[in-house]
A and B are shown apart, each in its own frame.
Chain A
Amino acid sequence: MYLLYSFRLALQSLWREKWINLLSVLTIAAGLFMITLTLFVVYNIDLATKRLPARFSVMLYLNDGLSEQETGSIIAQLKKNNAVEQARYIAKDKALEELKGVLKNADYILEGIDENPLPASIEIKLKKESVNIASVKKFAAEIKKIKSIAEVEYGEQFLNSIHSIKGMAKAGSLSLIIIMSAGVIFVCYSTIKIAFYRRKEEIETFKLLGATRGFIRAPFVIEGSVLGMFGGIASMAAALAFYHVLFYKVTATIPILKILVFPFETFPALPIVGLLLGIGGAVIALGRIRFS
């Protein structure tokens, strides 16, 4: 097989133009690092929105004067609903107590109120998968039909904004990743294109001596993949440095950032992604090899 020789040609060419190639590697690394940063941001947004369902609840306010039996049957009915994870009954007294707890020293506000103005309520925690706009709306509509429920309240605004933040993050990151990937491919493309033109004469001779397309392409594809892979390795180093600075230096002054999580599992993928983008750029640069 000629591949061994192709590797030799590729390495010779990479070495001959080492400074230009180093520049390409750094550019590729910058692009891949941006992709890593984007993934880091999206990953954390995703994580944050995944933690939210635990805090999200739907409040049902009950009519006054319901018997124990009636509230019991409402709770039983709720628990049968597939979306419900947990339903907690909060009696009128308990509600007032909780309010006092919240107001603490400001409980003078409640002075002079003889009758407990707060309604009894049921706090519902929904199952994780049901915490989204469509499911919650559907659920609210269903339970409104239950007799004796005065009002259903949930953070519609909150849900909406979570939804749109997630959507924007997704769209933004996806376009950024596509643009950056295209950029990396373009850098490989132009580097290989230049290398190909530099060796045009030699390639013409190879063709006349009976070289196949594979023989002509192989060194350039290898060059492209090496550039991409080294770019990937460099971006991995940059990502590790970024992680180090963020988690050991910056968090010392801004501790809240400790909640951020770094997706380490993406790191080993960087050289592979670089390699694939490099091959892509090289293949596009070579185009169709013609013999006549």
Chain B
Amino acid sequence: MIHFSNVTKFYERQAAIKNITFSVEKGEMIFMTGPSGAGKSTLLKIIYLSEKPDEGSVTIAEWDLSKLKESSIPFLRRNIGVVFQDFRLLDNRNVFDNVAIALRIRGMLDSEIQDWVMEILKMVNLRHKADSFPQALSGGEQQRVVIARAIVGEPTILLADEPTGNLDPDTAAGITRLFKEINARGTTVVIATHNRELYRNTGRRVFRIDSGNIVGEEIG
């Protein structure tokens, strides 16, 4: 589903990703871990086409990114749900609209959207907050809105960047359960985190990243 082959990415002259090669199979759930500044976010950004690799080749769901036309980028992105580290919630829209926007972008009508969005909000346990605005939510609630928005379009890949960043352990555990549930439905999941609690005893592959290199692979 995701193939990196000798991928390098420079910021100015500094390499954030150095000659990285790895693969994630369809339906897998894997973790990227490592200290802050290791290059985890950069790796995810390459997958969701926010950054372009300078060297090497990347294939996402059979799409060779180097051959991808710019006008096709939106359509590939619709196959990739992203839980952004900085959330990227729209402050001037309520929870419902923040989730619904992912479907409106796909050209779906309000009548088609309504029930499905409420269904997803129920899944992340935010149905009662549909009319609230992001500022009025706790960190954990905001995180779940972002997850709801990422999965509402039923992507084949779900990326999450530090999804438990500032959350208390209990809330974090809830988020992890949610990802497992999503993965159980067949979605390929990639989670970047420096929080070992997240992958401990999951039995999933964990890539250890440091200074832009994959320095180890283990089972969590």
B126 within 8 A of A: no
Q: Is the CB of A209 within 8 A of B102?
A: yes
Cβ contacts A208-228/B at 8 Å (1 or 0 each)? 111111010000000000000
Contacts A205-B90, A213-B71; A5 near B104 (Cβ below 8 A): yes
Q: Please state if A4 and B109 are interface contacts (CB–CB under 8 Å).
A: yes
B90 and A210 form a contact (CB under 8 A): no
Instruction: Please give the number of chain B residues whose Cβ is less than 8 angstroms from any Cβ of chain A in the complex.
Output: 27
Q: Which of B48, B75, B105 contacts A2 (CB 8 A)?
A: B105
**B:66-94 near A, CB below 8 Å:** 70-71, 73-78, 82, 84, 88, 90
Closest-by-CB residue of A relative to B152 is A209
Interface: A291 (CB within 8 A): yes
Q: Which of A5, A204, A205, A291 contacts B73 (CB 8 A)?
A: A291
Q: Are A210 and B107 in contact (CB under 8 A)?
A: no
Min Cβ gap A288→B in Å is 10
Contact across chains for B88 and A208 when beta carbons are under 8 A apart: yes
A105 interface hit (Cβ, 8 Å): no
Q: Is A202 an interface residue (CB 8 A)?
A: yes
Complex partner residue of A208 from B71, B75, B77, CB under 8 angstroms: B77
Alpha-carbon separation in the docked complex, A8 to B51 (Å): 32
Query: When A208-B82, A291-B70 are in contact, do A202 and B90 touch as well, CB less than 8 Å?
Result: yes
Within the assembled complex, what's the spacing in Å between the Cα atoms of A129 and B33? 87
A173 and B149 CA atoms in complex are apart in Å by 55
Q: A2-B107, A215-B105 are in contact. Are A291 and B52 (CB under 8 A)?
A: no
Q: Decide if B20 is an interface residue (CB 8 Å cutoff).
A: no
B40-66 interface bits toward A, Cβ cutoff 8 Å, 1 = contact, 0 = none:
000000001111100000000000000
Contact across chains for B73 and A292 when beta carbons are under 8 A apart: yes
| CB atoms of B77 and A292 under 8 A apart | no
- CB of A51 within 8 A of chain B? no
Residues of B within 8 A of A208 (CB): 48, 50, 77, 82, 84, 88
| Assembly CA distance A215 to B71 (angstroms) | 12
What is the CB-to-nearest-CB distance from B11 to chain A, in angstroms, rounded to a whole number? 15
Query: A266 CB to closest chain B CB, in angstroms?
Result: 39
Instruction: Report B105-140 CB contacts with A as 1/0, cut-off 8 Å.
Output: 111011000000000000000000000000000000
Minimal Cβ-Cβ distance residue in A for B70: A291
| A150–B107 alpha-carbon span in the complex (Å) | 84
* Complex Cα–Cα for A291 and B50 (A): 8
Interchain nearest-CB distance for A117 vs B (Å):
88
Chain A CB within 8 A of B101 CB = yes
Is A206 close to B, CB under 8 A? yes
Q: How far is the CB of A222 from chain B (nearest CB, A)?
A: 15
Please tell me if the beta carbons of B74 and A205 are within 8 angstroms of each other in the complex.
Answer: no
Residue of B at shortest CB range from A4?
A: B109
Complex contact A2–B104 (CB within 8 A) = yes
A209 and B49 in contact, given A290-B70, A291-B70 (Cβ under 8 angstroms): no
Contacts of A5 in B (CB 8 A): 104
List, in ascending order, chain B residues with CB within 8 A of A4's CB: 109-110
Find out whether the CB atom of A291 lies under 8 angstroms from the CB atom of B105. Answer: no
In the bound complex, residues from chain B placing their C-beta under 8 Å from that of A202 are 90
* Chain B residues, CB < 8 A from A212: 71, 74, 105
Chain B positions within 8 Å of A204 at CB level: 88
By a CB distance below 8 angstroms, the chain A residues around B52 are 292
Is the pair B74, A211 in contact by a Cβ cutoff of 8 Å? Answer: yes
Pick from B51, B88, B106, B110: contact of A210, CB below 8 A: B106
In angstroms, Cα B73 to Cα A292, docked, is 9
Residues from chain B with a CB closer than 8 A to the CB of A290 are 70
Q: What separation, in Å, do the CA atoms of A208 and B110 have in the docked complex?
A: 21
A134 located at the interface, meaning its Cβ lies under 8 Å from any Cβ of chain B in the complex: no
Q: How many angstroms between the C-alpha atoms of A208 and B109 in the bound complex?
A: 20
List of 8 A-B pairs having minimum Cβ-Cβ separation, nearest first: A210-B78, A210-B77, A291-B73, A211-B105, A2-B107, A205-B88, A212-B74, A210-B74
Which residues in B have some Cβ–Cβ distance to A below 8 Å?
A: 48-52, 70-71, 73-78, 82, 84, 88, 90, 101-102, 104-107, 109-110, 149, 153
Instruction: A2-B105, A210-B75, A291-B74 are known; give 17 further A-B pairs, CB within 8 A.
Output: A204-B88, A206-B105, A207-B74, A207-B77, A209-B78, A209-B105, A210-B74, A210-B77, A210-B78, A210-B106, A211-B74, A212-B71, A212-B74, A213-B71, A215-B105, A291-B73, A292-B51
A-B contact pairs, 25 of them (CB 8 A): A1-B107, A2-B104, A2-B105, A2-B106, A2-B107, A4-B109, A204-B88, A205-B90, A206-B101, A208-B48, A208-B50, A209-B77, A209-B78, A209-B105, A210-B76, A210-B102, A210-B106, A211-B74, A212-B74, A212-B105, A215-B105, A290-B70, A292-B50, A292-B52, A292-B70
